[in-house]
Amino acid sequence: MTVFSMNSSMKFLMKSCVPSGCRVLLAGMLAAAAVSAMAQGVLVPPRQAAAPVNSLATAAANVGLKRCLPALQRLSSAAVQGAKANDVLLDWDRKRTNDSATFAMIGMEYANGGAAMSITAIPEADGACSVQAERISVAPFTCQSVAQQELVGYRQTQLLPNFAVYTDGKDPTSSVSLIDSPPGCLVIRRYVEFNWKDPSAAPLRR
């Protein structure tokens, strides 16, 4: 299994643009450098004093989701960092809570606008989880200017005249999609990893 550092993928997922310019929003969401294996570059917002309550982590724990809870906590903590407020839509199979895929949509409110993040976690038979996270925001710039400021060195694949995907060979689990939506640009930062295991977890007991 290929293992990637969650810290680096979070940085990728948490870049965003604000009216005064594009900047990398790296808030200190994972204090321990020892935390490994998951989203390191696409999901972080502006550095602020304290993060709000993590609505997804709270809801998932309250309904008894355990199998992929560490993955949901890590990804959602990145999503809400720097937000004034957040709330969540959560779907899972009530008949088999701990064997069910989990689908979540987090809405984040920032001082200068908002964003959303979709998170999917699927438990695997060996105790691992396969995950996908997509951070969705609108930049008040053209997609060309976003690419020039944030995605230098990325490989561009033009899927449609108004839809381009950018990838970095050093981070094969992540991508950035830019969709022209005049006068702005729809930005979708995507992270995927198969068979992620919580490095701090004990062997699975059922």
pLDDT tens, residue by residue, 130-187:
999 999 999 999 999 999 999 999 999 999 999 999 999 999 999 999 999 999 999 9
Report whether 39 contacts 6 (CB < 8 A): yes
Task: Confirm whether 203 is domain-assigned.
Answer: no
Average pLDDT of the chain is 79
Task: Confirm whether 206 is domain-assigned.
Answer: no
Q: Which residues pair with 175 in a beta bridge?
A: 167, 190
Residues whose CB is less than 8 angstroms from the CB of residue 122 and which lie 6 or more positions away in sequence, other chains included: 68, 101, 102, 129, 130, 131
Task: Confirm whether 146 is domain-assigned.
Answer: yes
Task: Confirm whether 202 is domain-assigned.
Answer: no
Structurally, the chain folds into a number of domains equal to: 1
Q: Write down the pLDDT at residue 98.
A: 82
Quote the pTM value.
0.74
Residue 46 has pLDDT above 70, yes or no: no
Average pLDDT over residues 25-46: 38
Q: Write down the pLDDT at residue 39.
A: 44
Q: Which residues pair with 23 in a beta bridge?
A: 16
Domain that holds residue 167: 6-196
Residue 25 has pLDDT above 50, yes or no: no
Task: Confirm whether 201 is domain-assigned.
Answer: no
Task: Confirm whether 70 is domain-assigned.
Answer: yes
Residue 43 has pLDDT above 90, yes or no: no
Helices vs strands, H then E, count in the chain: 4, 10
